[in-house]
Amino acid sequence: MLKKDPEAGQTAKRKLPIGIQTFRQIREEPYYYVDKTAYIRRLIAEGKHYFLSRPRRFGKSLFLDTLKELFEGNELLFKGLAIHDQWDWSVRHPVLRLSFGSGNFKEPGNLHKETMAQLGTIEKVDGYDTAPAYFRHLLRTLHQRTGQPVAVLIDEYDKPILDAIEEPEVARANRDYLRGLYATIKDSDAHIAFSFLTGVSKFSKVSLFSGLNNLKDITLDPRYSAICGYTEADLDAVFAPELPGLDREEIRRWYNGYNWLGEEQVYNPFDVLLLFDRRQFGAYWFETGTPTFLLEMLVEREISSLALDDLLGSEELLSAFDVDHIATEALLFQTGYLTIRRTEFRGGELYYRLGYPNREVQQSLNKSLLNHLTGNPSRQVEHNARLYDLLLVNDFDSLKTLFEAFFASIPYQWHTNNEIANYEGYYASVFYSYFASLGLTITVEDSSQAGRLDMAVLFNGNVYLFEFKVVERVSAGAAIRQLKERDYAAKYRGRGEPIYLIGVEFSRQTRTLAAFEVERV
Angle among Cα 299, 106, 99 to the nearest 5 degrees reads: 105
pLDDT at 394: 96
- Considering the domain boundaries, does residue 112 fall inside one? yes
Per-residue CA distances from 102 to 110, 122, 181, 313 (Å) = 12, 17, 18, 32
Could you say which of 173, 197, 224 is where a domain stops?
224
Beta bridge partners of 31: 15
Pair (220, 367) in one structural domain:
no
Average pLDDT over residues 103-117: 94
Could you say which of 224, 248, 278 is where a domain stops?
224
Average pLDDT over residues 385-412: 87
Q: Is the pLDDT of residue 289 over 90?
A: no
- Considering the domain boundaries, does residue 271 fall inside one? no
Amino acid identity of residue 218, one-letter, is: I
pLDDT at 2: 34
Ramachandran assignment for 127, one of left (phi > 0), alpha (psi -120 to 50 degrees), beta (any other): left
Could you tell me which of 405, 500, 406, 517 has the C-alpha nearest to residue 459? 500
- DSSP label of 474: S
Q: What percent of the chain has pLDDT over 70?
A: 91
- Considering the domain boundaries, does residue 298 fall inside one? no
Average pLDDT over residues 46-63: 96
Per-residue CA distances from 303 to 140, 300, 306, 427 (Å) = 50, 8, 8, 12
Could you say which of 203, 224, 245 is where a domain stops?
224
- DSSP label of 411: -
The average confidence (pLDDT) of the chain is: 89
Average pLDDT over residues 97-123: 94
DSSP secondary structure letters along 364-391: HHHHHHHHHHHS-HHHHHHHHHHHHHHH
- Structural domain boundaries, residue 512: 360-520
- Considering the domain boundaries, does residue 151 fall inside one? yes
Beta bridge partners of 340: 354
- Considering the domain boundaries, does residue 29 fall inside one? no
pLDDT single digits (tens) 206-265: 567 766 677 899 999 999 999 999 999 999 999 999 999 999 999 999 999 999 999 899
Q: Which stretch of 220-224, 474-478, 499-503 has the lowest confidence by average pLDDT? A: 474-478
Q: How far is CA 485 from the centre of its chain?
A: 39
pLDDT single digits (tens) 322-353: 888 888 899 999 999 999 999 998 888 899 99
Measure the CA–CA gap between 228 and 43, rounded to whole angstroms: 14
Q: Is the pLDDT of residue 45 over 50?
A: yes
Cα pseudo-dihedral 438, 443, 444, 446, rounded to 10: -160
Report the DSSP pairing between strands 49-53 and 499-507. unpaired
Cβ atoms of residues 467 and 428 within 8 Å? no
The reported pTM is 0.89
pLDDT at 419: 58
pLDDT at 210: 67
Q: What CATH number does residue 452 fall under?
A: 3.40.1350
pLDDT at 7: 32
Mapped onto helix, strand or coil, the DSSP state of residue 481 is helix
- Considering the domain boundaries, does residue 460 fall inside one? yes
Q: Is the pLDDT of residue 517 over 90?
A: yes
342 exposure class (CB count in 10 Å sphere: 0-12, 13-18, 19+)? exposed
Average pLDDT over residues 421-449: 77
Pair (219, 366) in one structural domain:
no
pLDDT at 431: 85
Amino acid identity of residue 62, one-letter, is: L
The angle that helices 359-374 and 377-393 make with each other, rounded to 10 degrees, is 120
Q: What CATH number does residue 114 fall under?
A: 3.40.50
Q: Is the pLDDT of residue 93 over 80?
A: yes
Cβ atoms of residues 235 and 272 within 8 Å? yes
- Considering the domain boundaries, does residue 316 fall inside one? no
Per-residue CA distances from 77 to 24, 67, 230 (Å) = 7, 12, 21
- Considering the domain boundaries, does residue 311 fall inside one? no
Q: How far is CA 320 from the centre of its chain?
A: 16
Q: Is the pLDDT of residue 186 over 80?
A: yes
Measure the CA–CA gap between 387 and 393, rounded to whole angstroms: 10
Angle among Cα 115, 319, 38 to the nearest 5 degrees reads: 75
Q: How many domains does the chain have?
A: 2
Pair (367, 218) in one structural domain:
no
Q: Is the pLDDT of residue 297 over 80?
A: yes
